[in-house]
Amino acid sequence: MDYKEKFSEDVGSFFRSPVREIFRKVDLNSIYSFAGGYPSADTFPLEEIRRTMSEVIDKYGARAFQYGATQGVPELREAIASRYGVGVERVQVTSSSQQGIDVCTRVLVDPGDVILTSEPSYLGALQSFRSYRADVRGIRHDQDIEIYSRNCEEAVERACRDGKKIKFLYIIPDFQNPSGETLTLQERQMLVGLAERHDFLIVEDCPYRELRYSGKAVPTMYSMAPDRVLHLGSFSKIFAPGFRLGWAIAHPDLLDSIYVCKQSLDLCPPVFDQYVAAEFLGSGRLDLNLAKSIALYRGKRDLMLSLLEEHMPAGVSWTHPEGGLFLFLTMPEGFDAVRFYDRALDAGVAYVAGEFFYPQRGGKNTMRLNFSFMDKERMVAGIQLLASLLRDELCAR
């Protein structure tokens, strides 16, 4: 049977995640993988999780295995609300922060509506946006705020000229995926001002915010405009991605549409996992473990930066993230990171080509490197290998 003719129009805009396709074909432990956004296995406190799970069974009994409220179990919503200083009526637990992105798009975007993003931006978000046939438009960042601001204004004006509705700006302000860069206070204020002037929303995605290794925290955009910004958080990087839990914080009227949508999406987030997260958070174990993760990742970031410094050939540059899981490499013009990928994988090292993160193509000469997943020994060998492959490639040109 030919199923293609049966599919909805949306399916025509689906595209596969190149990252997930890599994982489908390659055993991550058999290669040097800078590809995924995986936390280090060393950050999962197995014994403390085992203990917490047992405590959850003692404390909540059958309730932990029953259906739960669509908004999330009260214990977790309250723990999130108190951690981030917001009213509990502004907290919706999501079944992963990817779901947060997806459900925002679902309730806000009709085919053809404009979503503004940074360029490059998170691949999973681009997948979701495209799947609803949004008109995704990237804005090039610039260190000079005058230029960045002009780029933003121009993107807005272009959308207006095209007769399009801008539904929201999607932004990862802290240690962005894939670039690793963090927006300054002034940049955040500029973006909030832009959204206010042109009356669109901001979806602020903050999965890495608490993984800061140096520098000082910058206020969230949500804190600047709590009725205009929908803030997304995740337990994946501060606890464990295997639980698939995140949260959305927003004005109750906006959250209500997400709540009703979530009823038909999956009724409620995983209940047992929510109690485990609530207990882990409430007992202070999460913060203790997070401090250890930060120390571990700080060391890995520093090592990665010094390895790049030591081994990368001339003409290659990279970002210097203050936190998160990624940094972004730029090779000389003309380099093609997608074409180079097969050679690298054959040699035993994986990355994600930067091009995939560009909403309207571009970034052919870039790649994203993850520094959280591998242990330090493998990171050393992996960067040496990647650097030597790059040296060969760049010399041959």
Which 358-387 positions form the footprint of its own copies (CB under 8 A)? none
Closer of 20 and 339 to its own copies (Cβ):
20
* Interface size with its own copies, residues (CB under 8 A): 80
Distance CA 70, CA 80 (A): 16
Tokens of 101: 């992105």
Interaction of residue 257 with its own copies, rule CB under 8 A: yes
Q: How far is CA 241 from the centre of its chain?
A: 12
Among 251, 285, 376, 391, binds its own copies (CB under 8 A): 251
Q: How far is the CB of 309 from its own copies (least distance, A)?
A: 30
Among 32, 33, 68, 363, binds its own copies (CB under 8 A): 68
Distance CA 93, CA 71 (A): 6
Of the candidate spans 36-44, 284-292, 307-315, 327-335, the one that interacts with its own copies by CB under 8 A turns out to be 36-44
Helix (H) or strand (E) holding 233: strand 229-234
Interaction of residue 339 with its own copies, rule CB under 8 A: no
Interaction of residue 242 with its own copies, rule CB under 8 A: yes
Interaction of residue 41 with its own copies, rule CB under 8 A: yes
Among 144, 253, 342, 377, binds its own copies (CB under 8 A): 253
Among 33, 70, 179, 182, binds its own copies (CB under 8 A): 70
Distance CA 70, CA 367 (A): 39
Which 280-299 positions form the footprint of its own copies (CB under 8 A)? none
Distance CA 68, CA 250 (A): 21
Long-range Cβ contacts of 289-294 (<8 Å, 24+ apart): 289/43, 289/45, 289/48, 289/239, 290/210, 290/238, 292/43, 293/39, 293/40, 293/43, 293/211, 293/238, 294/211, 294/212, 294/213
Q: How far, CA to CA in Å, does 331 sit from each of 130, 143, 157, 366, 368?
A: 28, 19, 32, 6, 11
Which 94-123 positions form the footprint of its own copies (CB under 8 A)? 95-96, 98-99, 102, 106-110, 113
Q: Which amino acid is at 54?
A: S
Which 209-228 positions form the footprint of its own copies (CB under 8 A)? 227-228
In contact, 71 and 260? CB cutoff 8 Å: no
Closer of 50 and 150 to its own copies (Cβ):
50
Closer of 135 and 181 to its own copies (Cβ):
135
Interaction of residue 243 with its own copies, rule CB under 8 A: yes
Which 165-204 positions form the footprint of its own copies (CB under 8 A)? 167, 201
Closer of 17 and 151 to its own copies (Cβ):
17
> How many residues make up the chain in this entry?
397
Interaction of residue 3 with its own copies, rule CB under 8 A: yes
Interaction of residue 234 with its own copies, rule CB under 8 A: no
Q: How far is the CB of 210 from its own copies (least distance, A)?
A: 18
